[in-house]
A and B are shown apart, each in its own frame.
Chain A
Amino acid sequence: MNNDDEVFALLASAAAVVPPDSLRAKVLDAAADVRRAGEAIESLGGGQSAHAADAYVRTVAEFSALLDAARGDEIIEPYGWTAVQLVGHLLDVDRYFGRQLRLWEHAIDESLEDDHLAMTQAAVQAAAGADYAELVTRWRAVADQLGAHIGSLDAEQLRDRIKFHLLDTRLSTVLVVRVFEVWTHIEDLSRALRRPPPGLDAARLHLMTATAVAAIPLGMLLAAIDAGQQTARLVLTGPGGGVWTQPLRLGSQATDPAVTIVADALEFCRLAAQRTRPDELDAEVEGSIDLAIDVLRGASVFAA
């Protein structure tokens, strides 16, 4: 495009004529014929679908590779842990995950099972004095066993239900939640190491955004926010994005959206992982701002 195009377009604006009303429907129908509404273009991951088990295994592998760049004493925000404590946290979570998958025994304080961070607090404290390389080796051994098990499951087994913290849901959903968790640790550790995090492909990100949007009613329930029978429309832009019409109460049916929230898909995932606050999200809202903030509070549901 050049300056001539801008001048010409202004000339064209001066010659504008409202087209026949019937043309609008023809245009929208023709558009829907070439790409259906809600489907992203190919370069943003449209038409691709990531497999939850693959996404989990790949994300864990990326975290494992990143650990080689750390010494163990780096301070990692937001919790102020050192890198070795982060590994201690993840080792404890993975042991718990294996326990829930009935792969091994692992003692937990059941009174803390609903709190992802509190449940691993003792392990995090114990890891403070641990040898980094030795703890990484122990974590990798556990992560490898989990990865091998998950990689061996068929589609039906991935639909089996599992209890994981507050969730009682399909294993495939838990895997996506764990992708969220591990990806968030990758971002935290990369920041501490002052290096860019490994890129997240659009198909994996789409899996995460879809799961995060679907979890909004649960998040709102946990945050004691009742939006009644209202529905929100979420338009998440960029790679991994899409369009969702999401009822805000568990089990309710979609109604005409009371609010449309437009945000970047990756930033929305950071919100879901509690690394961006709802009032910090760079989001554009059509409809009630208050309802939008409530929806975003509900979306901020995955502790990592």
Chain B
Amino acid sequence: MAMTMVRPVKAVSPTGPTDESLVARIAVGDERALQIVYGRYSPMVYGLARRVTASTAHAEEITQEVFVYLWQNPDRFDAERGTLRAFLGALAHRRSVDEVRRNTRRAAREERVGGDVTNLDSFQVGDEIERSQTAERVRAAVASLPEQQREAVLLAYFGGLTFRQVAEHLAIPEGTAKSRLRLGLGKLAVLLEGLT
């Protein structure tokens, strides 16, 4: 006898609609879904952009670009390839780095990446319990990395530096910079396993 799968109408989860559902809604023009995604991820996008560009004006521009891009191109997100957080994070990072590289005040940037970017205490977290818990676990994981690996990861990500620039900044060979970054990311991936 054929089995009939019953998938009853269900209330949305107490944590809200899933990211995948929200992107499907955005694709058909549901502006409320965009509002929910914005509420969920704008602190990450804005915080990242502000940290990389060191500019609130650029951070606002980049945040706007990222969410408008999602609204225009929701079909570019593939839930099978990664989370919406990673998708938006990668977009925000790429645009932030582009902005920094366009920035003619290179000297000021060089000064900034040497200080603030690798300082864990400067991480600011939102006031939502869940986000704070995530933030605390991430901070603990980053803090547990050997200093050389931590520097390489934070310079490459928040500093928006290439392998070569990380190497120059730390006065080490490029291969060493690459190796420190890979080792650091590998350890973080293990330490942050299961964190959503």
Contact across chains for B24 and A238 when beta carbons are under 8 A apart: yes
CB 8 Å contact bits of B49-69 with A (1 = contact, 0 = none): 011000000011001100110
Cβ-defined contact, A281 with B9, below 8 A: yes
Report whether A280 and B6 are in contact in the complex, using a CB–CB cutoff of 8 Å.
Answer: yes
Residues of A within 8 A of B127 (CB): 18
Quick check: is B93 within 8 A (CB to CB) of the other chain?
yes
Known: A14-B123, A38-B29, A39-B29. A284 touches B21 (CB 8 A): yes
> How far apart sit A238 and B81, CA to CA, in the bound complex (Å)?
19
Q: Would you call B189 and A5 a contact (CB within 8 A)?
A: no
> Could you tell me the distance in whole angstroms from the C-beta of B95 to the nearest C-beta in chain A?
13
Bound state CA distance, A41 and B76, in angstroms?
12
Quick check: is A43 within 8 A (CB to CB) of the other chain? Answer: yes
User: Is the Cβ of A8 less than 8 Å from the Cβ of B157?
Assistant: yes
Neighbouring B residues of A124 by C-beta, 8 Å:
none
A144 shortest CB reach to chain B, Å: 36
Complex Cα spacing A3 to B87, Å: 11
A9 vs B38: C-alpha distance when bound (angstroms): 15
Contact between A14 and B134 (Cβ–Cβ < 8 Å)? yes
Residues of B within 8 A of A241 (CB): 27-28
List the B side residues contacting A289 at CB < 8 Å. 9-11
With A18-B43, A293-B9 given, is the CB distance from A12 to B27 under 8 Å?
no
Contact of A36 among B29, B35, B59 (CB under 8 A): B29
Residues in A neighbouring B24, C-beta threshold 8 A = 237-238
Return A271 CB to nearest CB of chain B, in Å: 10
Per-position binary interface string of chain B over residues 164-196, scored 1 when its CB falls under 8 Å from any chain A CB and 0 otherwise? 000000000000000000000100110010010
Tell me the complex Cα distance, A3–B34, Å. 25
The reply to whether B185 and A15 form a contact with Cβ atoms under 8 Å apart is no
Give the CA-CA distance A91 to B87 in the complex, in Å: 53
Cβ 8 A contact of A34, one of B28, B48, B68, B85: B68
Contacts of A93 in B (CB 8 A): none
**How large, as a class, is the contact surface on chain B?**
35 or more
- Across-interface contacts of A40 in B (CB, < 8 A): 27-29
Give the docked Cα–Cα distance between A286 and B36 (Å). 13
By beta carbon, the residue of chain B nearest A280 is B6
Chain A contact-residue range equals 35 or more
A236 at the interface (CB under 8 A from B): yes
Q: Chain B residues with Cβ under 8 A from A282's Cβ?
A: 7
- Choose one: A10, A20, A30, A34; the contact of B138 (CB below 8 Å): A10
Select from chain A the residue with minimum beta-carbon distance to B192: A10
Return the CB mask of B115-155 against A: 1 if under 8 Å, else 0: 00000000111110001001100110010000000000110
Q: How far is the CA of A32 from the CA of B28 in the complex (A)?
A: 13
- Cα of A250 to Cα of B120 in the assembled complex, Å: 60
Q: A16-B47, A243-B28, A262-B25 are in contact. Are A41 and B74 (CB under 8 A)?
A: yes
Q: How far is the CB of A295 from chain B (nearest CB, A)?
A: 10
Q: Which residues from B are CB-within-8-Å of A243?
A: 25, 28-30
Q: Is the CB of B9 within 8 A of A17?
A: no
The proximity string for A residues 29-63 relative to B, scoring 1 for CB distances below 8 Å and 0 otherwise, is 01110111111110110100000000000000000
Question: Quick check: B9 and A292 within 8 Å, CB to CB?
Answer: yes
Are A16 and B126 in contact, CB atoms less than 8 angstroms apart? yes
**Chain A contacts with B in 98-118, Cβ cutoff 8 A:** none
Is B90 a contact of A237 with CB atoms below 8 Å?
no
Quick one: which of A234-258 are within 8 Å of B by CB?
Answer: 235-238, 241-243
Partner of B93, one of A12, A18, A262: A12
Least Cβ–Cβ distance between A248 and chain B, in angstroms: 16
Shortest B5–chain A CB gap in Å is 9
Across the interface, which residues of B come within 8 angstroms of A224, CB to CB? Answer: none
Bound Cα distance A286, B67 (Å)? 23
B contact set with A: CB distance below 8 Å: 6-12, 17, 21, 24-25, 27-35, 38, 42-48, 50-51, 59-60, 63-64, 67-68, 71-75, 78, 81-83, 85-90, 92-93, 123-127, 131, 134-135, 138-139, 142, 153-154, 157-158, 185, 188-189, 192, 195
In the complex, besides A11-B158, A35-B29, 14 extra interface pairs with C-beta distance below 8 angstroms are A7-B185, A12-B45, A12-B47, A14-B134, A17-B43, A23-B42, A30-B68, A31-B31, A31-B68, A31-B71, A31-B72, A34-B68, A243-B29, A280-B6
Which 5 pairs from chain A and chain B are nearest by CB?
A1-B82, A9-B89, A16-B43, A17-B47, A14-B138
Contact sample, A vs B, 11 pairs, CB 8 Å cutoff: A3-B189, A11-B158, A14-B139, A14-B142, A27-B68, A44-B27, A237-B25, A282-B7, A285-B10, A289-B10, A292-B9
